[in-house]
Every structure is written in structure tokens, then in C-alpha cells.
Amino acid sequence: MSEALQTRQPCDDCGSSDALAIYHDHTFCFSCQKTTKTDGIDDERPVTPKGPSDLLRGSYTGLGKRQLTEETCRFWSYIMADKNGTKVQAAQYLLDDRTVVAQKLRFPDKSFPWVGNRKAFKGLYGQWLWRNGGKQIVITEGELDALSVSQAQNNKWPVVSLVDGSGSAEKGIKEALDWLSTFEKIILFFDNDEPGREAVNAVKSLLPPGKCWITWAPEGFKDASDLLQAGKSAKIIDCIWGAKQYRPEGIVSGQSVLDRLKNRLTVLALPYPADWERMNWRTGGGIRFGELDVWTSGTGMGKTTIIKALQHHYFHTTPYNQALIHLEEPLEDTGDDLIAYHVGKRFQIDNPEFKDTPEYAAAAEHLFLATDEKGNARLQLYDAFGALEDGSLYSVIRYQAIACGVRIFWLDHLSILVSDMDQDGDERKKIDSIMHNLKLLTVELDIYIGLISHLRKPPGQGKSFEQGAVPSLDDLRGSGGIKQLSNGVFAISRNQQDENPAAANTSTVTVLKCRKTGRTGTADFLRFEDDTGRVVIGVDPATLELNDFEDETPKDY
């Protein structure tokens, strides 16, 4: 039996609405099984559609320029007609009962007026040709693309098109969604241009999960019709078979996972000082690029001093540039504190004349004139005491990372930053936004950010943080975003009022969170040396005797 020219036609003998198939020289009804001989079909016989009175009469003929055969045009009820003396193409729109309800005309000037009852048609062009369900269906952007794909598949496999191009994608897909959902695979084969890509983005999430596949014409071709005109029917089939399954952004599986793992650069940890043994163990070796850590404590616990100790440490043990953004103090204080730490003398307190000595000048040059191989400063300070304009922080970080080679950032502290950023006065929203953006920057720029944050006032009449209470994650001031988005959270606690000076000057570092290792708990005990201003490894203050380090006087720092 030859291939059918038209299918799902009404049978006059048994009354079936869609069981009759029309062949070149006969008809056959799959319901009553009757075969009726015909005299053959005249290619130029006028086609008179049943439907609204303004529908055009036309004839089936091949479209030479488009490389579409008469057989394909007949299968799709695509006719040539006359409209006020102008030869036009007419894509006929049929209902399931094979009634033509509308025609979309294609004029030589590429205008596309409608005749008939356009509103009576719902769904996608060609939908009436195919039964419900099947392995796959292709959706193109235009009628001629649908005919091209159909012809490349010998008019055997389901293909439909949008009714009014890319702009009608969402409406058409929604109208046909129940029917499309009966297919196992739905392939979007829209035009390879900006409107086509926008249309795909608009509808890909409308389709049932796991069923949407996307393909494009190869470079140099816009759509399936272009390929057919170039004699590349096989390329149309290649496009269909090469369609990629749509997955929401961020979902990676299979070979892509293996490739990512294979190509991933080893994330090196930059160790804390060697005698911070517990801290290095609990954190898996130190700080890492791509991570955001939070340091917290009560007021006057020594957060800033410990951070400056780390700045000094990483200056001398790594080649990486650091940005020091201390919003709680003038730039000059930050500079002098680092020089004092370097020389081991607290000259700011009892010896201001030290600033006139060669030792001070040498230390200042050593720290602040040091550059990397590209001439960028190793230590870069930011002059923003007490203020930072809304949004400028992120620009500053991005600039310093890209233009100045900074890999390690220290930001002190979150509370001042929040007070300067206008988010309708909602502190939680501000903090969530800041934490989210800082975390994104660590990944985007492959940098480390150490952030200082304050604690909320503890409830009740219990021991305060300034009396040595160890904070928990829930004590972080402001928002759950701090503990959720950070990689590590480290708390500093000490009893400032301890009668033993050595104990009063010894801080306990507690790891409240470490996403890398999960090793939480007490880390190291850090003792502040009053005479040198440096932080050294200490012992548990609970084990100290009253006369230990009796030369020291407790000071807040």
C-alpha cells in the first residue's frame, strides 16, 4: 500500500469521523475496512475548504523554492490560492473533525493576514494530524519549518508549529499542554535567533519535568526550512537526535559531574599559625579561597587584635595580597596597629615618639611598600571609617580582586556595614543581602573573606559574654543568614573581669561551625601579651594560678 496523502478523514460509508485515509488512487477506511478506487488525484484540483465563507479556494502544489513536495503540502493541507489577484500560500488550520476554520496567508511581501475564524483554533499548527501520545514530538516556530521537519521524516512522525511565531509560544504551549504531555519527549526546534531563544526560555519550564528537549539549527542556518532549502534533510534529523534535555540551571549530572571533578583545581588551605594546632585541625588546615568565615565575640574580647595577628601572619607566610577594611577605626590606627604588632611594641600607648625612629620607618616600609610581582601592594587599606555607601562595598571588593590582585579580604565589622546600607530599615533583610552577596563574591572571584560580626545581648541574668560565656550560633546578632551562608563561624570568649590577670588576657577560640570538616568545639587558647601587643598560644585559663604571668595587668583590647 502506498503512503497516505491524507489521514483521519471522515468516511461517508460508515460515518466514522476520522478513520479514512486517502491515497493517490484509492481510499481506505480503517473502521469499515472498505477500499474505494479513484481515478487518481489531480494536483491542480481546487480545494474548497469546509468552514467560514471567506476561506480561500486553492490547490496543492509543491513549493520549489522551499524544496517542499506536493505530497507534503497535501499531507498538511497547505495550499496555493489567489487573494485579490495576488498568489498567496495558505496554511490551513483544521479542527479534530477536519473542518478548516481559518487560513493564515503568506503574501510575497511576507505579511501574514488571517481569514476565517482565527479564534476558533486553539493549540498548535498541525495538531490535528497526530494521535495522542508517542515517543516524541517536535515543535517548530513556523508552519514551513514544521513542513520541512515533517518531510525530512517522510511525514511519518509528529511535528507541530507555533501559530504566530515566537511571540505566540507561551500561549500556544499552554493551550496544547495536556496533549503535549501525552508524549514522552517534547523537542523545541525554534529559530536560532534572539526571538527564538527568548521563546524557548519562556516555555521550557512550562513543559512536564524531564520531557523538554531543546535543539537548534547549526551555525549558518536559522531554522529547519533553511536546512531543507540547502538540501540538508539529514541535518534536520541530526538536530532532532542531537537535542539536549532541559534541566533547570544548577542541575548537573552524569559526565558533566565527572568532568567538573576532573578539572577542579585543588583548593589549598592556608594554615593558621603553626602553634594554633587545634584550630588548624578543626578547620581542615586553615582558611580557603572561595569561603566566607565569620569571627564573633562580645565587646572588647580581642576580635580585631586577633584578626590583625592573622593579617600579619598571612603577610609573612603567603604571597597573597590582603585588603583590610576596618570600618570601626581610622586608617591611621589600622596602620599603626600593624606596625606595632610587627615590631612587638605598643608605642601608641606609652611611647608616641617611637614614630620618629628608623625602626618605625623601616617597619612601615616593610609592610606598606611591599608589592607583588605586578607592583600591587601586598597590604591594601580602605579609608572608610564608620561609613560605606550602599552597594559600594561589592564594587570595592570586585575591583581590588580583579585590578589589584587581592585574594584575602578582612571586613570589620558587619554591624557598621548594615547601618550604612539602605534596605528600608529592615536589619535582617540587610544582613541576608550582605551575606548572600559576600558569599557570591568569594565563589565568583575565588577569594577569601574574613568577616567580623557582633553578638546579640544575652537574655536573662546569666553570665555575659564579657564574663566568659561561650556564644552559640543563635547568639549571632541580626539574622540566620550569618550562620547559614558562612563556611566557618569562630567565637572568641574570655572573662575580662577575672582576678587573675593571665586568665583575663587569655581568650578561648571555639569553632561553632565548619562546613568543611564539621569539627566543632573548643580550639585554641590565645594569650594577649601586654608588653608586646602580640597574640601567642596560651593554656586553658581555668588551669592558671593567680601568680602566673604576674607581671601582666589585665587590659581590654
Phi, then psi, of 306 in degrees rounded to 5: -65, -40
E strand segments, 354-429:
379-381, 406-412
- Residue 271 CA to residue 285 CA, distance in Å, equals 5
Distance of CA 190 to the CA centre of its chain: 24
Considering the segment(s) 51-245 as one domain, its CATH architecture is 3-Layer(aba) Sandwich (3.40)
**pLDDT tens-digit readout, 490-520:** 999 988 888 888 888 999 999 999 999 999 9
Average confidence (pLDDT) over 249-265: 75
> Does 1-41 match 269-543 in CATH topology?
no
Q: What's the pLDDT band for 378 if we cut at 50, 70, 90?
A: very high
pLDDT band at 467 (very low <50, low <70, confident <90, very high): confident
State the pLDDT confidence band at 40, using cuts at 50, 70 and 90. Answer: very low
Condensed to tens digits (0 to 9), the pLDDT of residues 277-314 reads: 999 999 999 999 999 999 998 888 888 899 999 999 99
The cell for 329 is: 577605626
Q: Positive or negative CA dihedral for 474, 479, 484, 486?
A: negative
Q: What residues does each domain of the chain span?
A: 1-41, 51-245, 269-543
Count how many Cα atoms sit within 13 Å of the Cα of residue 537 in the half-sphere of its side chain: 10
- The amino acid sitting at 169 is A
- Using DSSP's 3-state secondary structure scheme, residue 463 falls into coil
Residue 375 pLDDT: 95
Count, residues in the chain: 557
Beta bridge partners of 379: 322
- How close are the terminal C-alpha atoms of the chain, in Å? 96
Identify the helix (H) or strand (E) that includes residue 339.
Answer: helix 331-343
CA 63 to chain centroid: 45
Instruction: Tell me 369's DSSP state.
Output: S
**Fold (topology level) of 1-41:** N-terminal domain of TfIIb (2.20.25)
| 397, pLDDT greater than 80 | yes
Which of the four pLDDT bands, split at 50, 70 and 90, describes residue 548? Answer: low
Cα of 317 vs its chain's centroid, Å: 35
pLDDT at 303 (0 to 100): 87
Q: Can you give the pLDDT at residue 42?
A: 42
C-alpha cell at 405: 590582585
- The predicted model gives 417-432 an average pLDDT of 66
pLDDT at 72: 96
Angle, vertex CA 499, rays to CA 493 and CA 501, nearest 5: 70
Per-residue pLDDT, 513? 95
Q: Taking Cα atoms as reference points, which of 476, 474, 479, 389 lies closest to residue 429?
A: 479
Q: Please say if the pLDDT value at position 553 is more than 50.
A: no
Domain 269-543 adopts which CATH fold? Rossmann fold (3.40.50)
Q: At what angle do helices 358-368 and 331-343 cross, to 10 degrees?
A: 110
Gap between the Cα atoms of 473 and 478, Å rounded: 11
Answer yes or no: are the C-beta atoms of 46 and 90 closer than 8 Å: no
Q: Does the pLDDT at position 418 exceed 80?
A: no
pLDDT of residue 426: 72
Give per-residue pLDDT as tens, 102-130.
Answer: 999 999 988 999 999 999 999 999 999 99
How does DSSP assign 70-137, residue by residue? HHHHHHTTEEEEEETTEEEEEEEEE-TT--EEEEEEE-TT----EEE-GGG--S-BTGGGS-S-EEEE
- Looking at residue 388, what is its pLDDT? 61
Give percent of the chain with pLDDT exceeding 90: 62
* Cα gap 183→195, rounded to integer Å: 26
How much is the pLDDT for 270?
A: 96
Average pLDDT over residues 148-159: 96
Per-residue cell: 135: 515517543
Report the pLDDT value the prediction gives residue 389, as an integer from 0 to 100. Answer: 57
DSSP per position, 52-64: -TTPPPEE---BT
| DSSP one-letter code for 475 | G
Please say whether the beta carbons of 289 and 321 come within 8 A: no
CA distances 232 to 119, 158, 190, 315, 332, Å, are: 36, 20, 17, 63, 72
Cα Rg of the chain, angstroms: 38
Going by C-alpha positions, the residue among 432, 433, 491 that lies closest to residue 465 is 491
- Count of H-run helices and E-run strands, the chain: 18, 25
CB neighbourhood size of 232 (10 A): 19
Q: What is the amino acid identity at position 346?
A: R
What is the pLDDT at residue 138? 98
- Tell me, what's the pLDDT at 264? 67
Alpha helices in 182-241 (DSSP H): 194-203, 224-229, 233-241
Task: Judge whether residue 185 has pLDDT over 50.
Answer: yes
Tell me the per-residue pLDDT of 225-256, one tens digit each, with 9 for 90 and over: 999 999 999 999 999 999 999 988 776 767 87
For 440, phi then psi, to 5°, come to: -60, -40
Give the per-residue pLDDT at 412: 86
| 5-19, 266-280, 434-448: least confident range | 5-19
What is the residue whose three cell numbers read 498548535? 124
**Global confidence as pTM:** 0.58
Per-residue cell: 260: 567538573
Mean pLDDT over the full length of the chain: 87
- Which sign, positive or negative, has the C-alpha torsion 268, 274, 275, 277? positive
The whole-angstrom separation of Cα 554 and Cα 496 is 8
Asked if residues 160 and 146 have their Cβ atoms less than 8 Å apart, the reply is yes
